Structure 1
Amino acid sequence: MTPHELYADLTRSGLNLIGQALSIFDADLRLAVANRQYQAMFDLPAELTHPGTRFEDTIRFLVMRGEYGPQDDPEAAVAFRVEQARTFQPHYFERERANGCCIAVEGAPLAQGGWITVYTDITDIKRQESLLRARSEELSGQVLDHAERLAAANRELAATNAALQEAQRILTRTEARTRQVTEMVPAHIAHVDGEYRYTFSNRRLPSIFPGAAGNVIGMTVEQALGAPTFDAIRPWLECALSGEAQVFEITHPTSGRRIRIALTPDSASHGVYILSTDVSAEVQAREALSHASKRSLAAQLTSGMAHDFGNLLTIILGLQGRLAALDLPGHAAQDVQATLAAARRGATLLDRLARISGPREMALQPVDLARLLRDVATLARPSLAEGTVLDLAIDLPDGQVLLDAGALQDSLLNLILNANAAIAGPGVIALEARFSGEWIELTVTDTGPGFTPEALARAAEPFFTTKKGQGSGLGLSMVYDQTKLVGGTMRLDNTPRGGRVRLRLPLRPIARQMILLVEDDDSVRMQVRGQLTDLGHAVLEAGSLAEACAMTDLPGLTMMLSDIQLGDGLGVDLDASLPMVLMTSLPPGDPLRARAQGPVLTKPFTQARLAAALAEAGKRT
């Protein structure tokens, strides 16, 4: 007997031990469960007690037998009782059967559909009541009537209590399921009252607003999120409390995430339902798409004329070079030099156009960020206007991080020189750096006039400039591109002192690893080993799965890098107790790749991609 059959047999045995008759019909009015007393009480044939029996057939049998007394139209009586059953209403009543017995019938609907009915033989109770009335002449009829009504009311109350207990059980289970579902939703669902106090929360607030409180029931929004965030959303909450639904987005001051918030008024309790979702990825994708389309337009504009423009500049530079070699009068020599300078500037601009419209790839490498920032300051200071000071405020722990050093250096130099141009006189430029959660935050501020509203909206667009013919309009656009390429964000705003540009770059800390490299191709293994050692990692090598399995328990080993397909097996079958990065030439979507428990590198890969994958695997420990 299977466990399921054993469980069903156990249930049937238990129901048969109950002294009352019981039946359960499903939502289609077919018998689901009945005990032996049900058949015995109504003297039903066996075919009417099998699961699946139609309620209509059972009622027709009882009507035809006279269970409900004489009927002028038996089919109408059957139809009436079937229609009553379809309503699934809780009920309790007592009736006398055709054989003189009295039964109490108590029924209740089920949450899954259908209903359960319990039949109790109360013939003896009724006889005792009649005997008591006949033999108790001293008792007034009023007292007896009251006693009978009380007994009937108690029985009905007991049935009602049973129905309420079942309803409470179903409600509790439904509430638990609802909470489980809401807690699985990747969003924060909540309700606040008119005083901005949480009355419900699915406990997902910290996953949307990092640093927020977890259990917020009874707390105000300000207490849960902090004053800066509350100040940002309070006007919207006030509008929602006044009865106007709101949908808006804010940037979380602490984490920099972009959060979309929907507020739905709750007029019944003067509160607000809240749905908060992290849409940072969506916003970045939208911005990237918009920027990519503009960059694509720039590429289309330049690709057709770049060759001819380059040839033209070559001719101009050649002719002006010949003129410069002649003994020309002073003003003519100056004109030639000015023309040469303009042509060289055109060549530089053409190169920058090619760089902004061409493909890019990250070049991550271990970097001492504090040293890089000091080098940037050293490079930038000679180019600053007289009287302008560049201050450094570096609050970074010791150690290296993975960065695209060349791109970051170009970006910071661009921002510093832009700030210098904006100040237009003596002033202060500040370069600040710190770690904020999982981000590196780099801020360049100046004491200039700040960004105009148009600049705040369009500064990252290719060719947009406020330098009145002195700039190419590609500086901030390139900073934006380079920042987005490594998964960061760029934000522009104004402070009371001037303009500010904030770059947030993903923090990819460098942890020196002892890595087991598993690759059965000697040449590939040698190349990857070089990439790993250049990144500062210690490397142990294995040329087969069997060799690797014998080395996974070596002391000090912290990570594995393995090919998926080895000559004697699969890399995915290696011991998964250590962080693992897999590499393969299989295309994305291959079933073997889907079995990977960590990052997968597609061969061939660059050192930057390898470094990023190792950093990702390290975070999973």
Structure 2
Amino acid sequence: MIADLPADLTRSGLNLIGQALSIFDADLRLAVANSQYQAMFDLPETLTRPGTRFEDTIRFLVERGEYGPQDDPPAAVAFRVEQARTFQPHYFERERANGRWIAVEGAPLSQGGWVTVYTDITEIRRQESLLRARSEELSEQVLDHAERLSAANRELAATNAALKEAQRVLTRSEARIRQVTEMVPAHIAHVDADYRYTFSNRQLPQVFPGSDAGIIGRSIEEALGSGSFATLRPRLDRALAGDPQVFEMTHAPSGRRIRIALTPDRAGHGVYVLSTDVSAEVQAREALSHAGKRSLAAQLTSGMAHDFGNLLTIILGLQGRLAARDLPEVAAGDVHATLAAARRGAALLDRLARISGPREVALQPVDLPALLHEVAALARPSLGDGIKLHLDCDLGSQPLLLDPGAVQDSALNLILNANAAIAGPGGRITLSARRSGEWIEIAVADTGHGFSDEALRRATEPFFTTKAGQGSGLGLSMVYDQTKLMDGTMRLDNTARGALVTLRLPRRPVARQMVLLVEDDDTIRADIRAMLTGLGHAVIEAASLSEARAMSDLPGLTLILSDMQLGDGLGLDLAGPLPMLLMTSLPPGDPVRARAPGPVLTKPFTTARLAAALSQTKAPACPSPP
């Protein structure tokens, strides 16, 4: 009974309305009707129950003569049912068979179906007739105008009600669409023919870091910068001309890879824009491609290394014996050439093993300017005649977390490649390093012939080379892989003077810290202490929670690194004003691990992971005063 109360209240309220009302759903079945609806049309009880078919009601009214004499009653019924299926808002006045006049106002519902209100206007029409009959003083024209104005006012009121309902539905629909678009992890926008934003789901900063969410009315150049706009403009022009575009671009300030779809506006007023960050997808795709090639190299190496090594050993031994003899000059030259070729084969085998074998980044504090000066000193003796190497290092003296071996190998490889690309004597190679936002850019530029179109597409593929049999095709591939291991990117370009290769590495400044290391396992504590000191940090050790509490207020401490589960309690209990980094062997999702206020290092971890975690650890927010 209680469950039926809302329906009863609704029905009672509708019965108090002076007009007749009916609501039919999208399936043309009666959903709601009040008592005036039954009384006005003298309907039987069976035609006022919810679920009654509209066709049955119309058939009853047609057969009773509600719509006047009908030559073909079934056709009249079918006509009105078909009208209902394509329901349109309407208002009209008609005289019933019993001589009474009614005004009929209908409006569709957003959920499907329609509502119709019937108003008995017999008295209004009678007054209008009496006014006409008894007012001989009034001109016929005035009376006509009065009647038309009265009917027009009633129709206008009905139209306004329909418009208000349509506006309510559209407003609710627009709000729902806007909410949905703002939940999408992509930027959805519309720009006009002047490249100005007319709509945005406010997700631009999530796709293009550093941009502003409030871009309505602003141009693309204002929102994204002149560099990104220069890349986008040719594509936008083609889309504005009616040609849809899908392409990828690199957002230079952040290094992110963005996929953009441009769809012409059918009304011809601009272009719809969908921008998605596909950096992870591109990295995974490239890593899969490189992994496949490295796997092939590994199979080749493992299958051929033994036999190939034996052959090279025999060749080198025989040629060494020949070289020791007193041979004619031509023969001696051939022997030395054979020895050189065999040694190149041995070096290639070693490089295959290095590219195919497992590697791990080894981050440590690095004085990058000093390292690059060392690279330049190592490279200069190997340069061609007249080729100059210029070093341009615009960095401060603060140490950075880098893999020095990988940086050195990469820079040397790029310099030697640039040297090989400069044809003839003379030329210039520039090794530069500078800060770019949160990145460090290391670039090698030369005055050679530049990259071919094919090289720009394939230079990072293992075994691809343009050196006509003189190169292994592994140099740039190794540079690319080492850069990726350090979470960086590599870009190849041609300049007006030659080729340019730019490595972008995350800028991780080393803030030397005094770390309170809390770990109850002596062996693990010794290993982690070695990692920390290798990164340049000072370390104070504690073997228990109680011991750590006694040390946590020592002057000079800057960070606590603690295991989550200690023999006498939880490392979580050390949380306080100092920044804290927790570590554990518990898997993600464990209830204890879930209580951590920030990132957690999973044991075992490498020095690189520890260094990255330390660089990102910040002090917890202070609680608000009660």
Q: For this structure pair, what is the TM-score category when the shorter chain's length is used for normalisation?
A: 0.7 to 0.9
Partner of residue 278, structure 1: 277
Following the alignment from structure 2 to structure 1, what is the Cα–Cα distance between the partners of residues 337 and 130? 129
Task: Measure how far apart 1:353 and its partner are.
Answer: 1.1
Whether the 8 Å CA contact 2:388–2:429 is kept in 1: the answer is yes
Q: Which moved more, 1:336-345 or 1:136-145?
A: 336-345
- Give the residue type in structure 2 aligned to 1:244: D
Secondary structure of residue in 2 paired with 1:112: coil
* 2:451 aligned residue: 451
Q: 1:6 to 1:504 in 2, by over 3 A?
A: farther
Match of 1:434 in 2: 434
Contact 1:240 1:246 survives alignment (8 Å): yes
**Would you say the 8 A contact 2:375–2:408 is kept in 1?**
yes
Counterpart of 1:351 in structure 2 is 350
Evaluate the alpha carbon distance shift between residue 506 and residue 42 of structure 1 in structure 2; reply closer, same or farther with a 3 A threshold: farther
Distance 2:311 2:516 in 1: 56
2: CA distance, partners of 1:458 / 1:330: 45
How do residues 220-235 of structure 1 correspond to structure 2 at under 5 angstroms? 220-235=219-234
Q: C-alpha offsets along residues 359-395 of structure 1, whole Å, 9 cap, x if unaligned?
A: 2223233434344333333433444456544333333
Describe how 1:282-297 pairs up with structure 2 within 5 A.
282-297=281-296
Counterpart in the other structure of 1:249: 248
CA contact (8 A) 1:67 1:98 kept: yes
CA distance in 2, matches of 1:120, 1:522: 91
**So what's the TM-score if we normalise by structure 2?**
0.80
Q: Which amino acid aligns with 2:437?
A: G
Change (3 A) 1:127 1:335: closer
Q: Distance in 2 between matches of 1:157 and 1:591?
A: 65
Question: What is the match of residue 404 of structure 1?
Answer: 403
Contact 2:204/2:211 (8 A) holds in 1? yes
Give the secondary-structure state (helix, strand or coil) at the position aligned to 2:389: strand
1:518 and 1:162 map into 2 onto residues whose CA distance is 72
CA distance in 2, matches of 1:562, 1:8: 61
Q: CA deviation at 1:178?
A: 2.8
User: Which residue in 1 is equivalent to 2:392?
Assistant: 393
Give the whole-Å Cα distance in 2 for the aligned partners of 1:199 and 1:446. 45
Aligned to 2:480: 480
Preserved contact between residue 183 and residue 202 of structure 1 (Cα < 8 Å): yes
* TM-score normalized by the length of structure 1: 0.80
Q: Report 1:10-409 matches (<5 A).
A: 18-34=17-33, 38=37, 52-56=51-55, 79-96=78-95, 101-212=100-211, 214-266=213-265, 268-269=267-268, 271-316=270-315, 343-385=342-384, 387-397=386-396, 399-409=398-408
The equivalent residue for 2:624 is none
Given the superposition, is the C-alpha separation of residues 89 and 516 from structure 1 closer, same or farther in structure 2, using an over 3 Å criterion?
A: farther
Aligned equivalents of 1:133, 1:40: Cα separation in 2: 31
Secondary structure of the residue aligned to 2:305 is helix
Cα gap change, 1:513 to 1:79, in 2 (>3 Å)? farther
User: What does residue 462 of structure 1 align with?
Assistant: 462
Q: Compared with structure 1, are the counterparts of its residues 38 and 575 closer, same or farther at alpha carbon in structure 2 (3 Å cutoff)?
A: farther
More off after superposition, 313-322 vs 443-452: 313-322
Preserved contact between residue 430 and residue 446 of structure 2 (Cα < 8 Å): yes
Structure 2 letter corresponding to 1:442: I
Structure 2: state its 5+ residue gaps: 622-626
CA RMSD of aligned residues (A): 4.8
- Per-residue CA deviation, residues 124-167 of structure 1 (Å, 9 max, x unaligned), is 32333233233323223443233222211110111011111221
Q: C-alpha displacement at 1:52, in angstroms? A: 4.7
- Bigger Cα displacement from structure 2, 74-83 vs 437-446: 74-83
Q: For residues 435 and 196 of structure 1, what CA distance do their matches in structure 2 show?
A: 32
The number of equivalent residue pairs is: 616
Partner AA of 1:443 in structure 2: A
Query: Equivalent residue of 2:451, what SS?
Result: coil
Unaligned runs of 5+ in 1: none
Distance 1:511 1:119, change over 3 A: farther
Q: Deviations over 1:13-62 (max 9, x none)?
A: 76566544443332123444455655665676777666555445555666
Between the two proteins, what is the percent identity of the paired residues?
Answer: 74
Deviation at 1:449?
3.3
Go from structure 1 to structure 2 and tell me whether the alpha carbon gap of 1:488 and 1:35 turns closer, same or farther (over 3 Å shift): farther
- Pair 1:120–1:465, CA change in 2 (3 A): same
Q: CA distance change for structure 1 residues 302 and 557 in 2, over 3 Å: closer, same or farther?
A: closer
Measured in 2, the distance between the counterparts of 1:593 and 1:74 equals 77
How far did residue 430 of structure 1 move? 1.9
3-state DSSP of counterpart to 2:476 = helix
